Amino acid sequence: MNKMHLFVSEYGQFIGKKSERLVVSSKGKVVQEIPFRDLTQVTIASRGVSISTDAIEGCIEFGVPVNFLSFNGKPYAMLISPVLNATVTTRREQLKAYDDERGVYLAKAFVAGKIGNQANLVKYFAKHRKEKDIYPTLMANAREIEDLKNQVDAVEGSTVNDVRPYLMNLEGRAAAIYWQDIGEIAVGEEFNGRKHRGAQDPFNACLNYGYGILYNQVWGAILLAGLEPFAGFLHVDRPGKPSLVLDMVEEFRPAAVDRPIVALLSRGWRPKLEEDGGMTRESRREVADAVLTRLDGKERYDGEKRSIKHIIVSQARRVAAYLRGERNYSAFVSSW
């Protein structure tokens, strides 16, 4: 059996333990039963879900993080074993790196990875539209995005604070081109730009929910690598803001979330929204299935085909190794 990410989104479900298996039941009837060894993560994405302490202990014993998402996909908690973190050396070097060239290098790598993945995703959708009028425009815009990526290397400074404004400028210019193309492919005239909190249009609602799933995936990988989630480089430190998680999420957004959401919407599917603008439980499940399937999808990495989930874990470990001076770091860029 392949390793699986269990997603629990039905109100009133109960998660318990039976021997070495996680058991999900509803109204006293078992609906799923999975050995702990076959789980990678558990995500609870609904109110009214209960989990026993025995189930939590079983997850921790087998190294299975338990994530909690709000109705709009925002992560609000994660349960993970404290003994899985790596050595204190990693975090000491991470904090020092903010004020030296290592922080500059990582900030540039995260931005270059994001922009490179945006360019490749535009090309990916363009190649399936060679017979349409939009094809030349998409390819020209992909080249323009790539030009912005190439300018990242030229940004110079001795600390993150020196380079951040220039990197954010390049990122913003690339995003303006990218979202114009991606929005047109996904929903056409209905898309009026990228929105974050409180978004009620179908595309942004789906994206925000999908990013919540990705945040938890990256957050767990960062903890397992022994890194401090709240000490980033590209994003400014603020209380309660996991800036390193936000840094590392950037290079995976296009490949892990944007691609499956655009594919879903471009086929004509639309989420159903509640009165408060949030997606219905069924629509959240549809988006989650698309993103989780994509996270299980394979990409070329180190000369082999690896799942995106595996790549996220490996990239976090490489950030840690880079900070300790053991190897270099390069962003993950997906194929197209």
Share of the chain above pLDDT 70, in %: 96
For residue 299, give both structure tokens: 């990409």
Two tokens at 254? 């296009």
What is the per-residue pLDDT for 62?
A: 87
Structural contact between residues 257 and 214, judged by C-beta atoms closer than 8 angstroms: yes
Together in a domain, 178 and 46: no
Let me know the angle formed at the C-alpha of 285 by 283 and 291, rounded to the nearest 5 degrees: 105
Q: Looking at the domain assignment, is residue 244 inside a domain? A: yes
Whether residue 255 sits in one domain with residue 117: yes
Q: Higher pLDDT residue, 221 or 108?
A: 108
Residue 150 and residue 283 in one domain: yes
pTM, to two decimals: 0.83
Residue in the block written with tokens 């030009």: 147
| CATH of residue 30 | 3.100.10.20
pLDDT at 86 over 60: no
Residues 11-42: pLDDT tens digits? 899 999 998 999 999 988 999 999 999 998 89
First to last CA, the chain: 29
Domain with residue 212: its CATH number is 1.20.120.920
Contacts of 75 (CB under 8 A, 6+ apart): 67, 68, 69, 212, 215, 216, 219
Query: Is the pLDDT confidence value at 154 over 70?
Result: yes
pLDDT in tens, 232-242: 999 998 888 99
In this prediction, residue 200 has a pLDDT band, given cuts at 50, 70 and 90, of: confident
On the question of pLDDT at 287 being above 80, the answer is yes
Task: Please report whether residue 301 resides in a domain.
Answer: yes
Residue 136 has pLDDT above 70, yes or no: yes
Q: Domain tally for the chain?
A: 2
Domain span at residue 242? 88-323
For residues 316 and 207, state if they share a domain: yes
> What pLDDT score was predicted for residue 148?
97
Pairing verdict, β 21-26 and 29-35: antiparallel
Instruction: Say whether both 237 and 110 belong to one domain.
Output: yes
- Same domain for 226 and 110, yes or no, is yes
Residue 78 lies in a domain: no
How confident is the model at residue 239, as a pLDDT? 86
Residue 61: pLDDT band with limits 50, 70, 90: confident
CA dihedral 101, 102, 107, 110 (to 10 degrees): 140
Long-range contacts from 234-239, C-beta under 8 angstroms, 24+ separation: 234/106, 234/107, 234/110, 234/111, 234/160, 234/164, 234/167, 236/164
Please give the mean pLDDT across all residues of the chain. 91
pLDDT the model gives residue 275: 75
pLDDT of residue 206: 93
Same domain, 37 and 147: no
Encoded tokens for 263: 């594919």
